Chain A
Amino acid sequence: MNEPRSLPRGRKIAVLAVMALAAFTLRIANANPAQSQSTTLTAWRVDRDPGLDPLAGVWKDVPPIEVPLTAQQGVYPLGGGTVATVRTQAVHYQGRLYLRVEWADGSHDVTTDQVTSFADATAVEFPSETSSSVPAVCMGQAGGGVNIWQWRADRQADQAALNAGDEPVVDYYPSRSDLWFPARAVGNPYAAVTGNPVQNLAAQSFGTIGPTREQPVTGRAAYEDGRWHVVYSRSFSSAGADQPAFAVGDDTDIAFAVWDGSNGDRDGQKQVSQFVQMEFSNDTATPGWGWLPIAIAFALFIPILVLMVRGGSRSP
């Protein structure tokens, strides 16, 4: 039987020092050597303005992630389940986040002119504070609110009709003053003509969701080849306490919801995801030099440490 292997004291200290140096190098460089195996959405830096066009060429270079959806079964009205996944991408340009959501939907549902017709829609949800925090995914909770950006096809279609000079429902009003639009006059957000198909909402549990005072989120969608493509955009800076501020290097969480109008989806009848993590990277989507500290650590520190342990562990 051999004697137990053991390192000389000096070599132990040296090994510990090299390990501490490796950890310190990675920390300073903020270079995480571990690869996420859960779904993580990275907002990459881009060098040109992506704009709100969901079919812009800039998105071709951004790797998408696929987020699974399930029918919402937590609160009435239950339902959904016709859309299995959303594909999403994110970039940031000069302090502004651009988020693209894409999903397959064979029906192009853009009108809500009857009580039985519902529009396609999608929403993204963030914790009100930027961090990897854990509000309840369904509308948050007291003390842990959520900020929701909802795009609706009917809002965009209505706006397009207005822009084209067509009233979406009524052909003629004697006046365009608020007197003839009482809902708009009292501030009903659904009646407001904002030119923006995206609504910025906040909630702190079921039944508390409502539009925020500020509406800093813009967006635009396109329907092509049986797929909806929606782009949201908002400045990194927060417009209120119930809305997160973003910064490069931050991690946060994001969840997705999709409504399929022809399936009767509205309100809680929708498909939803769990929260997935989202990180704001200073790298471009094409590989840069961000891998260098990790490569150095693996190519240099780890073999050195193994050799130091092995080299001194043999007993005479």
Chain B
Amino acid sequence: MHRRDPRAKIAALMVFLVVLATAHRALPVLGLALVLLLSAALIWARLPLFSALARAAIVLPFSLIFAAVCWLSGDPARGFSLLLKSYLSALAVLLVVSTTPFPALLRGLETIGAPRFLLMVVQFLYRYLFVISEEAQHMTIAAASRGATVRGVMAGARFRAAAGALAVLFARSYGRAEDIHRSMLARGFQGRFQPAAALRFRATDAVFMLFASLAPVLLRATVERAL
């Protein structure tokens, strides 16, 4: 599954999400069926099943609050629907993103019409996300060692200190971006990014897309007809 064309996976994902979003009947059974479908796909893709299932549960705390409100307002079915749909959506996205290298995913999005400029920004963001986050972490540790989290210090001073830390992080990030730009120019950047290696949609991708898209549709049709 890792080697399938990203566009096939994106298309299958969209079909899955729309089938899920528009489903209103027999949700428990359909939900179970779709979880099994995604689990099968995860196993086929040789991804660790339980950590994927757990990772998708990241949406649950937020959904649980709303589900609780629904339940207390007398609409438990809706609450269950919120939980189920948000969880399944997260699991499906996790599946696609874990089986597709990030640049290939963005290239797939580009071929279906997403603006290239935006996708390039996304790519650079992703690339520097961990670098800058680490820098921010170092700064917070350094600040903590200088007593920034000590309760005794006035909140106003700590507030300003945090603002100062952010400003320094901003300046460093900005400077880093300028360094990147300069090294790009030094390596002969002409002014426009060229599209990356072309994606090739093969017969196996078409077959995959067909089956992967049909699966949730058929599951839903079967469940709704049977119940």
Whether both chains belong to one complex is answered with: no
- Chain B residues with a Cβ under 8 A of chain A: none
- Chain A residues with a Cβ under 8 A of chain B: none
